[in-house]
Amino acid sequence: MGENRGFSVEEISKNFQFKGEFQRCEPNLLGHINDTYAVCYSEGSGRNHKYILQRINHDVFKEPIKLMENISGVTRHMREKIIRAGGDPMRETLNLIPTIDGGNLFISEDGDHWRAYHLVCGARSYQQVEKPEHFYEAGKAFGKFQGLLSDYPAENLHETIPNFHDTRMRFDALVEAVETDPLNRAKDVKEEIEFVYKRVDDTPILTDLLKKGDLPLRVTHNDTKFNNVLIDDKTGKGICVVDLDTVMPGLSLYDFGDSIRFGASTAEEDEQDLSKVWMDMGLYKAFTRGYLEMAGDSLTKLELEYMPFSAKLMTLECGMRFLGDHINGDTYFRIHRPGQNLDRAHTQFKLVADMETKLEEMAKVVAKI
């Protein structure tokens, strides 16, 4: 299969420094944003090479060149440190394939932006946590990612999505949605709105600490879902963090908090039966242990102190976004049934309320590790 949407993947691939002759390609249907293809090349010796070829969605990522400068910089930095530590740079970080003119991005005649990576073989991502050991390994992988980049000058990165985790700005956006109320939905979600408004004082805490210099600016992944870690097929170890499109300057707490929000929940993000929704302390402990084993030495005392709070805050922020989108008419998050964004908000708020009862226990876990 080499054709799709009016272009030839085989022809596009000729613009990259792939080894050998083109054999085949297969679309990867797991990604929801970029068009992704697994491409196989073969050399005369019979040796096969597998690559990932992606068309960047510039409806979502408006500045692909800046995005690729971020990815190129952090992967090169990680690769050098992995080599110095005696690791395997081909499996422990993503590796970009240069274009034939030495760049990291090919722009086609119709304006599409393409990039390529070496495929990490013998590993896969999982859509859900199947066992605590996997979540522990994800914690190690994201902790290692943070540790490897702890000395990277985060201020040199482009902010490709401005104010992505400015929780106070997210709160202000919700207030605006409530006040404009284009579909007259606010009257039916008064309880949910009140839930958020009662927690308004939480929303600026982390960004205020960053502005005052109390928390350090870090390289952050900003999409630390469990399925963005590759798990080795043979060893079950978390070996590589993928999907680096949202790498930006930010706070380590954004990444830790969002990992817990997504991975330590006992239910799907849009679960309608809220009796099934809570934060699993066993999963929280597993991820936190893995994360701190790899990143602990690079984190400050204040970062450690705010880890439990960050899980609550990132969950509240996500719930606010779901609620605001529901009020605005579901214009940002894709829905597959009416009320799905409201259900998503409900699960996040249930998690927030549960976390609030467990913050002291969560802090003890961090302190013990």
For residue 32, pLDDT beyond 80:
no
| Closest listed residue to residue 98, CA positions, set 80, 111, 116 | 116
Tell me the pLDDT tens digit for each residue of 119-148.
998 999 887 777 889 899 999 999 999 999
Tracing tokens 């999505």 back to the chain, one arrives at 161
pLDDT of residue 62: 87
Across 233-259, average pLDDT: 95
Residue 2 has pLDDT above 70, yes or no: no
CB 40 within 8 A of CB 30: no
pLDDT number for residue 288: 98
pLDDT exceeds 70 at position 29: no
The CATH homologous superfamily for domain 132-368 is Aminoglycoside phosphotransferase (APH), C-terminal lobe (3.90.1200.10)
The amino acid at residue 367 is A
pLDDT band at residue 3, thresholds of 50, 70 and 90? Answer: very low
- What pLDDT does residue 24 have? 86
Six-digit token string for 49: 């090479």
25 against 88, higher pLDDT: 88
The answer to which of 37-41, 130-134, 177-181, 311-315 has the lowest mean pLDDT is: 130-134
Domain boundaries, the chain: 3-121, 132-368
Question: In percent, how much of the chain has pLDDT > 70?
Answer: 97
Cβ contacts of residue 75 below 8 Å, gap of 6+?
93, 94, 95, 96, 244
Does CATH number 2.70.98.10 belong to domain 3-121?
no
Q: List the beta bridge partners of residue 54.
A: 36, 115
Q: For residues 32 and 50, what is the distance between their CA atoms, to the nearest angstrom?
A: 22
Q: Is the pLDDT of residue 23 over 70?
A: yes
pLDDT of residue 35: 87
Residue 66: CB atoms within 10 A of its CB come to 14
Average pLDDT over residues 295-309: 96
Burial of 263 (0-12, 13-18, 19+ CB in 10 A): buried
Task: Please state the rounded mean pLDDT for residues 326-355.
Answer: 96
pTM for this entry: 0.91
Residue 190 has pLDDT above 80, yes or no: yes
pLDDT of residue 154: 96
pLDDT digits (tens, 9 = 90+) for 87-130: 999 999 999 999 999 999 999 998 999 999 999 989 998 877 77
The Cα–Cα gap between 294 and 129 comes to: 20
Place of tokens 């902790």: 143
Percentage of the chain modeled with pLDDT above 90: 80
Strands 106-107 and 218-220 come out as unpaired
Which residue's structure tokens are 């990277």? 152
How would residue 8 be classed by pLDDT, with cut points 50, 70 and 90?
A: confident
Interval 324-335 mean pLDDT: 93
More confident residue, 237 or 59: 237
Helix H or strand E encompassing 18: none
Q: How far is CA 186 from CA 198, 341, 342, in A?
A: 17, 14, 11
